[in-house]
Copies of this chain bind each other. A is one copy, B any other.
């Protein structure tokens, strides 16, 4: 047997999601790519903004000496300083490059953070629905995932959080705007969450990290504002990337930011840099570091995503689906008309519409739609949703 027992389990645990993808791929082969409406992936259809293309051309035409060589494992000081400056501008907190580590995207950042802070058996709290990969990241780093529910608006149930925190709790991961629900946490929620963590830290005499996955920070609609964690808990670590705000998911460029007031911050950062190096990331890709240094204030056109949300949300509501209106990111998480979300996702497949069952996000009874797709797909999927709604008498 070439693969280890734990990896076999991991592969198997994810295999039914994978099966969905494979069934989707088979549909595409059978009916042609253009006749299948794939809403299953968070792979932004937009191209990077023009400022990105310009920077790339500039560096391609006028390469810097040594611009593809190794740099410090934490990243180029100039890039880290640019990130720190932008964070300071956005939050009023005095970040410096010492608190920033450039990473190969958010997934890398999370693995580095978890490896650094977790002793085997430490608990990490997640809120349902959660980004499915979190559970693999926690398992790889010998942590134990502990799941806390959210309310019907996908906002954390703070009483349940308080009850779930114990002596083994090492971290709480939040993700707002949320994948898969699109929920955006209010300042008040983040504030109350921070209060609970402060209280529990005092009770257990232990640092409890608030890890905030902010991959969608810049993709918020309806004039809502992002609520940063920094003012509400000192033991905070942000992990994020430019995958979504600059539409660069394949390039693996992101960063870790540590609260300047985090206890023993220097030791923490030293551990993070060590893990960034020795987990095999070594450093974030050099060329992308050179580019994003100049793009900290640039974002793709959020209004385009908002239009897509409005279009699809309005249609689904008309058809009788039960959907909480997403306020950010580019996902919707409707209730599954069938109790069995996998069965419902297969019903949509009959109409060549690909979505992901909610149980992949810890929330059976729902399904995820990714609407960062072209308009052809968005329009083309409506027939399938309509026919399926009729079949189950949603209206």
Contacts and interface: CB of A to CB of B under 8 A. Distances in A.
A57 interface: yes
For the complex of A and B, the 7 pairs showing the least CB-CB separation, nearest first, are A250-B286, A3-B271, A111-B280, A60-B60, A2-B268, A136-B278, A107-B280
25 contacts: A1-B207, A1-B264, A1-B267, A2-B207, A2-B209, A2-B263, A3-B116, A5-B119, A7-B115, A7-B274, A43-B69, A44-B69, A45-B66, A53-B63, A59-B60, A68-B247, A68-B249, A104-B281, A105-B282, A107-B282, A109-B280, A251-B285, A252-B283, A281-B281, A285-B285
Nearest to A10: B274
A70 interface: yes
Given A2-B264, A117-B4, A268-B2, A283 B250 contact: yes
Copies in the complex: 2
A166 interface: no
A282 B70 CA distance: 21
Chain A, interface size category, equals 35 or more
Contact of A279 (B61, B140, B274): B140
A78 interface: no
A252 B267 contact: no
Given A7-B116, A263-B2, A282 B44 contact: no
A70 B275 contact: no
Interface string A218-230: 0000000000000
Interface string A87-126: 0000000000000000011011111100111110010000
A188 to B, nearest CB: 28
Contacts of A251: 68, 285-287
A4 B116 contact: yes
Nearest to A278: B136
A351 interface: no
A109 B287 CA distance: 20
A284 B280 CA distance: 12
Contact of A108 (B2, B45, B281, B288): B281
Nearest to A1: B264
Contact of A250 (B43, B63, B68): B68
A164 interface: no
Nearest to A111: B280
Contacts of A118: 4
Given A118-B4, A250-B69, A281 B107 contact: yes
A61 B44 CA distance: 22
Nearest to A269: B2
Nearest to A247: B68
Given A57-B60, A68-B48, A285 B117 contact: no
Nearest to A61: B57
